[in-house]
Every structure is written in C-alpha cells, then in structure tokens.
A and B are shown apart, each in its own frame.
Chain A
Amino acid sequence: MTTIYILWLRQLKRYVRSRARMVASLGQPLLFLLGLGFGFGPVFQKAGQGNYIQFLAPGVIGMTILFTSIFSGIELIFDRQFGFLKEMLVAPVPRLLIMIGRTLGGATVAMLQGLIVVLICLIAGFRPHLSAIPAGLLYMALIAILFTALGTAIASVLSDFQGFQFVMNFLVMPIFFLSGALFPLNNVPTALGALAAIDPLSYGVDGLRQSLTGIAHFGGALDLTVLSLVSAVCLLVGARLFNRIQL
C-alpha cells in the first residue's frame, strides 16, 4: 500500500511542479474548443444538429484525458533514461505494485487536467446536466486509467524516444480523430463507423457525452462494458510487459 501511495504521490508532485507542462498541454484543447467550436458552430447548427460547443465539449475533455494519460504512461521512458526506473526496480517490492502506483498517479494527473478543461468548457458556454456529474467523473476516470495503462504498456517495450513520435502519429492521433470526439458518428461511411467502433475512446467520449448532455450513439451500458473490459486488458498487458523490463 505504501508503495502504491508513494509512487502515486510522486506523479502528482511532478505534475504540480511542471507548471509549464500544465499550461502547454491546455493550449491544444483550448484551440480545438474555440477554433473548431466557434468555427464550425454555425454549420453544425444549420445542419440541424444543435449547439456545437455542447456537442464538442465532451470530446475535448476526452481528448485532454487521452493525451495526458498516454503521456503519463510514456513518461516511463523518461524514468528509464534518467535512471529512476532502476531505483524502483531494484527495491524490495513487487513490480505489480510499482506499476499500479504509477498508473493510478498518471490517471489522477490526467483527471485533474480533464477537470481544468471542464472549467474552460463551462466558460466557453458548455452547459452539462448537473445531475450527471458523478457519471461524468466515472467516465473520465475510466478513460484516464485505460490510456495510462496503455501508455505504460507501450513504454515498457520502447527503449527510447525514437518510438514516441511513431506512437503519437499512428496510435494516439487516430484514436482521437476516429473517436467521434469532433463529429457525430451517426450516418458516417461504414468504414469510418467500423474504425470508430473498435476505438476505445469512442466509448469514452460517448459515455461522457451521454451523461453530460444526453446525446448518445452506443448507449451507456455498452460504453461502460467496453471501457471496463479494455481497461482491464490494458492493465493486465501493461503489468505483464512492465514485469518483463530488464535493466
């Protein structure tokens, strides 16, 4: 328990101290929300889909959590390069606890970052159902855990930063763009629909959107099931790969 707590605390301290990173990582959601939100707003409205900010906000919240949590997981490469990984791996504690502590820490950081974006969305005119806050938080937490675990799993097999760009371009960006964070998944071409259906973030964004605004595509039951299952798989695979790291 101490192990999990102390490593969780470490992630939080690192987050709070790197204010530059905190601010820098808010730039992107801000741009999406304001640029896309207000830019496409009138078209969206004309197409009879209602208020675009209302539709987009859950997507931008999901995006923030996706990027922050993948990065938190991938930070493991930093730990390896700057050597701190050795200190953790040679300690007399099971690796599983180290992995859990790190993942929970990273997920917490992603949640905090997501909450900041929620505030920004509120300022930009987003109006969620207040009764849906607990469900919204649950979805945010699931997205955070899922992608931190995925990031950890990836970082466990990457030995340096060369692979990071690859992961960003061929995994993280597609996960984001195909998730329905920016556009409704109803009536999209079949191929795109199929891709969205295998994208775990689609279910995260859908769950968030449904709980916060009532707009649903897959429906809450399916969202929760898929997110929980994929999170569990990512945690298991992450733990396994983390366990295989050699110094």
Chain B
Amino acid sequence: MIRVENLTRSFGEIEAVRDISFNVARGEIFAFLGPNGAGKTTTIKMLTTLLRPTSGKVEIDGLDPASHQHEVRQRFGIVFQDASLDDELTAWENMDLHGALYGVPRKIRNERIDMLLKLFELSDRRNDPVKQFSGGMKRRLEIARSLLHTPAIIFLDEPTLGLDPQTRNQMWSQVKKLNEEERVTVFLTTHYMEEADRVAHRIAIIDHGRIVAQGTSAELKQQTNSETLEQAFLALTGSSIRDEGADAAAAMRTMARMFRRPR
C-alpha cells in the first residue's frame, strides 16, 4: 500500500530524511516512531503530497504522490498533529464539508457520517459547534472525518497527544475496529510507546533522518534485549534530549493556543 525506496529530503544543507526505505502492506497498522526532529513529519509530508522528495521513490497504492496529487489525496485520510477543524461549524457540518470536498455523493455521505459519528460516540453532539468540544472529542471527530471518504490509508500524526489514558485507550480500540472491518491501512506516529506496542503490527524507528530498526514489536525488543518497547526505543535512539528548532509552525501553534477561546 505504501512503498518507500531510498527516500531523501534535504532543506538546504540539512538532510531531514536520509535514504529511507520501507513498505506497508494493505490492512497493516504501521507505527513510525522517533524522537522529536527525527524526520517523522517530513516523511509524512512527502507521503501525503505536501512536500516533494529531493530524491528517491514514494508510491501510495501504486501512485506517485508528486505526479498524481489528486488521485493520491483521494486515497488517504489524514489527522494532523494540530487541530484542523472549523470551530464555528458543528460536528456534522465539518464532516459534511469534508465529504463534499472529497466528492462523496450526498446519500453515501449522510450514511457514513451517521455511522462514523456513532462509532466515535459523537452522535449526540452532532449539531453542536466544535468550539464547545473537549480536546478528546475534537480528536475523535478528526479521525472520524479522515475516514469519511473511505480512504485506503489513514495517516495519524500523534493523534493522542495530550489526551487522558481513557480517551487514548478508547480511540485506539475504535481505530483497530475500523482497521479490521474496513481493512484500512493505518500509518501512525506517537510518543507513547505502549500504544505502538499495543496497536501496531509493525514498527519502524527513525532517528537523525535514518531508519535505525524496523520489525514487529517483539523483534525490536529481542534485537535490543529489552523488556519493553520503550527500552528498545531508548536503546536504539540514545537517551539524550532533542530540541526541535522553533520553526514558524511551532510559533503558530503557540499563537493558536493563545487565541483559542475558553469554553
């Protein structure tokens, strides 16, 4: 479903992603782990048509994201690290707008919106404006929305960041359920190792732009003689702290938080 060969992306002097290769099979849940600034987001951007690779090959469902932008976009759903909902619109309207943008016919759109809102337990709040939602509800709505156009793949970029364990737990159960029922391929990033351990079929660990290990959770633990995935992760990536450069996006995130109105 996803095929990446010798993918490299540099920004000026800096090589954010260096010669990485991996495959994700249809129906697989694939976790892409790494410390901050390791190249996760850059990789996701290249997979989702938002950034062109410097060199190397990407295929999404057999298509090159650079030359078949719209076809590729139709095939995936994405949940970004930060919210991407319209706060003034209701849950249902956000879903409906998404469906219209992705050309989902009205009848199917309504059915799927009903189904997804029910699955993510948002049915009773469907007509409330999103600005009244809690962080967890917004995240659930975003995941539900990303699945509306029946994508073959969903990209979840740290979808559980800042959520309580109950919400995270429930969210992964719902994602797993959809993965089994609709055979949707899941590509996820997270900093919670126990989540990756629990939900992912396979894991790749990226550091300094290179993939340092990939395999099942058991394989990674065995390879590093670790008992938990967290230990394996630290063994592979070292334990020094990474500070991401404060880029425009990070600054913007801070601003967005400041401007967010209290509920």
Chain A interface residues toward B at CB < 8 A = 2-3, 5-7, 10, 13-14, 17-18, 80-93, 159-161, 247
B131 to chain A, nearest CB (A): 10
CB neighbours of A5 from chain B (8 A): 100
> Do residues A90 and B73 form an inter-chain contact, with CB atoms below 8 A?
yes
In the assembled complex, B98 has its CB within 8 A of some CB on chain A: yes
CB neighbours of B98 from chain A (8 A): 87, 91
> Do residues B102 and A84 form an inter-chain contact, with CB atoms below 8 A?
no
> Do residues B251 and A92 form an inter-chain contact, with CB atoms below 8 A?
no
CB neighbours of B259 from chain A (8 A): 81-82
Residue from A10, A93, A247 in contact with B45 in the complex, judged by beta carbons closer than 8 Å = A247
CB neighbours of A91 from chain B (8 A): 73, 98, 101-102
Question: What is the CA–CA distance of A53 and B72 in the complex, to the nearest angstrom?
Answer: 58
Question: What is the CA–CA distance of A159 and B256 in the complex, to the nearest angstrom?
Answer: 12
Q: B17-49 CB contact bits vs A (8 Å, 1 = yes)?
A: 000000000000000000000000000010011
> Do residues B85 and A90 form an inter-chain contact, with CB atoms below 8 A?
no
Name the residue in A80, A86, A89 with the highest tally of chain B Cβ atoms < 10 Å from its Cβ.
A86
With both beta carbons as reference points, the residue of chain B lying nearest to A94 in the complex is identified as B70
> Do residues B86 and A160 form an inter-chain contact, with CB atoms below 8 A?
no
> Do residues B48 and A90 form an inter-chain contact, with CB atoms below 8 A?
yes
B190 to chain A, nearest CB (A): 19
> Do residues B100 and A84 form an inter-chain contact, with CB atoms below 8 A?
no
With both beta carbons as reference points, the residue of chain B lying nearest to A81 in the complex is identified as B256
Name the residue in A10, A86, A90 with the highest tally of chain B Cβ atoms < 10 Å from its Cβ.
A90
**Looking at chain A's contact residues, is the secondary structure mostly helix, strand, loop, or mixed?**
helix
Question: What is the CA–CA distance of A84 and B85 in the complex, to the nearest angstrom?
Answer: 5
CB neighbours of B260 from chain A (8 A): 82
Name the residue in B88, B93, B102, B129 with the highest tally of chain A Cβ atoms < 10 Å from its Cβ.
B88
In the assembled complex, B225 has its CB within 8 A of some CB on chain A: no
Question: What is the CA–CA distance of A87 and B100 in the complex, to the nearest angstrom?
Answer: 12
Chain B interface residues toward A at CB < 8 A = 45, 48-50, 69-71, 73-74, 78, 80, 82-89, 93, 96-98, 100-103, 129, 248, 251-252, 255-256, 259-260
With both beta carbons as reference points, the residue of chain B lying nearest to A13 in the complex is identified as B89
> Do residues B84 and A87 form an inter-chain contact, with CB atoms below 8 A?
yes
CB neighbours of B74 from chain A (8 A): 92
A-B contact count (CB 8 A): 82
> Do residues A160 and B73 form an inter-chain contact, with CB atoms below 8 A?
no
With both beta carbons as reference points, the residue of chain A lying nearest to B256 in the complex is identified as A81
CB neighbours of B73 from chain A (8 A): 90-92
> Do residues B83 and A81 form an inter-chain contact, with CB atoms below 8 A?
no
Please give me the 10 A-B residue pairs with the lowest Cβ-Cβ distance, nearest first.
Answer: A92-B73, A83-B84, A91-B101, A6-B100, A92-B70, A87-B84, A86-B84, A81-B256, A92-B74, A83-B83
A7 to chain B, nearest CB (A): 8
A246 to chain B, nearest CB (A): 8
> Do residues B256 and A90 form an inter-chain contact, with CB atoms below 8 A?
no
Question: What is the CA–CA distance of A87 and B80 in the complex, to the nearest angstrom?
Answer: 9
> Do residues B103 and A2 form an inter-chain contact, with CB atoms below 8 A?
yes
B49 to chain A, nearest CB (A): 7
A233 to chain B, nearest CB (A): 28
CB neighbours of A247 from chain B (8 A): 45, 50
> Do residues A2 and B100 form an inter-chain contact, with CB atoms below 8 A?
yes
With both beta carbons as reference points, the residue of chain A lying nearest to B129 in the complex is identified as A17
> Do residues B88 and A13 form an inter-chain contact, with CB atoms below 8 A?
yes
Question: What is the CA–CA distance of A87 and B97 in the complex, to the nearest angstrom?
Answer: 10
Question: What is the CA–CA distance of A87 and B138 in the complex, to the nearest angstrom?
Answer: 14
> Do residues A88 and B101 form an inter-chain contact, with CB atoms below 8 A?
yes
> Do residues A3 and B256 form an inter-chain contact, with CB atoms below 8 A?
no
In addition to A91-B101, A92-B69, A92-B70, 13 A-B residue pairs with Cβ atoms within 8 Å of each other are A3-B100, A6-B100, A6-B101, A10-B89, A84-B84, A84-B85, A85-B84, A90-B78, A92-B102, A92-B103, A93-B70, A93-B101, A160-B252
CB neighbours of A88 from chain B (8 A): 101
